């Protein structure tokens, strides 16, 4: 289920979890459940290779298998038959929480995904003893919603498909279906491009006491001089021939 190389040192740094879910419908209050969770880890804006991925057999309010409608199946490609032998949410909940705990979650339309996650956590808590309660999402993670970020940057909320095309990363992932892990991987590339200008650039000089990034940076007079490579005789002749061709065609070369 997980691809988890050793990252004990990396986790000391800023940790992002790019997350997406697939569900049986759009409203958990109508009994809809999560059927897939996909998470991709980034540390200091770099993909680490760590992922969490789980397919989940959905149950209805009576504990029977939830039968999805074909319209929903057409979106994510997960059939009732495929999910029938997968674990139920309570069997993956602790592993999932351990993976995301303490991270900043990056989600496109976080209201949807977090709403389903908290619904699943609440159902788990209602069925278990008090000592086995799990927290809600915002109790263990901070959340960045790229839907809101897209509105701030582009003037209106944009879909993940739009952002992938806008930032030219749409060809990096095969998205025949909207799988949770596939969409999380795509969102990771979108997030990197979307927030690239937010990266901190260090313009300080000397001992670092100058913190004004708009200040003019003067190079020391003792610096090494730039090496100037002069054109060879053959290169000068070729340049003269090219300028003559441009002039013959009626142009006015700038480099005479």
pLDDT tens for each residue of 109-123: 999 999 999 999 999
Please report which confidence band the pLDDT of residue 172 belongs to, taking 50, 70 and 90 as the band edges: confident
Strands of the chain, DSSP E: 2-3, 15-23, 34-43, 46-55, 104-107, 142-145
Residue 158 to residue 105: CA distance in whole angstroms = 19
pLDDT tens for each residue of 140-158: 999 999 999 999 999 999 9
pLDDT tens for each residue of 5-28: 444 444 468 999 999 999 999 999
Instruction: Please identify which residue in the block is written with the tokens 């808590």.
Output: 125
* pLDDT the model gives residue 58: 97
Among 14, 32, 178, 239, which one carries the catalytic annotation? 178
Average the pLDDT over 241-248 and give the result.
70
Instruction: Please identify which residue in the block is written with the tokens 């999380």.
Output: 184
Average the pLDDT over 160-177 and give the result.
88
Please report which confidence band the pLDDT of residue 94 belongs to, taking 50, 70 and 90 as the band edges: very high
pTM: 0.72
Please confirm, yes or no, whether 53 is among the known catalytic residues. Answer: no
Residue 145 to residue 151: CA distance in whole angstroms = 10
- Torsion of Cα atoms, 199 then 204 then 209 then 215, to 10°: -100
């Amino acid at each position: 289920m997980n691809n988890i190389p050793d990252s004990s040192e990396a986790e000391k740094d800023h940790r992002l979890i790019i997350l997406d879910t697939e569900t049986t419908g759009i409203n958990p209050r109508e009994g809809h459940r999560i059927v897939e969770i996909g998470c991709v880890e980034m540390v200091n804006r770099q993909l680490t290779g760590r992922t969490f991925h789980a397919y989940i057999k959905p149950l209805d309010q009576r504990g029977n298998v939830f039968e999805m409608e074909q319209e929903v199946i057409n979106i994510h490609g997960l059939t009732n038959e495929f999910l029938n032998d997968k674990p139920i949410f309570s069997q993956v909940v602790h592993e999932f929480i351990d993976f995301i705990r303490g991270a900043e979650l990056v989600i496109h339309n976080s209201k949807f995904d977090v709403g389903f996650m908290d619904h699943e956590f609440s159902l788990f808590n209602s069925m278990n003893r008090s000592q086995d309660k799990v927290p809600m999402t915002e109790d263990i993670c901070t959340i960045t919603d790229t839907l809101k970020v897209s509105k701030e940057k582009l003037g209106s909320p944009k879909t993940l498909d739009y952002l992938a095309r806008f930032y030219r990363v749409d060809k990096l992932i095969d998205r025949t279906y909207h799988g949770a892990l596939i969409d999380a991987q795509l969102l990771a590339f979108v997030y990197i491009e979307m927030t690239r200008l937010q990266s901190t650039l260090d313009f300080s000089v000397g001992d670092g006491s100058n913190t004004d990034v708009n200040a003019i940076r003067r190079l020391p007079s003792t610096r090494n001089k730039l090496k100037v490579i002069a054109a060879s005789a053959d290169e000068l002749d070729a340049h003269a021939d090219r300028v003559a061709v441009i002039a013959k065609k009626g142009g006015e070369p700038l480099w005479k």
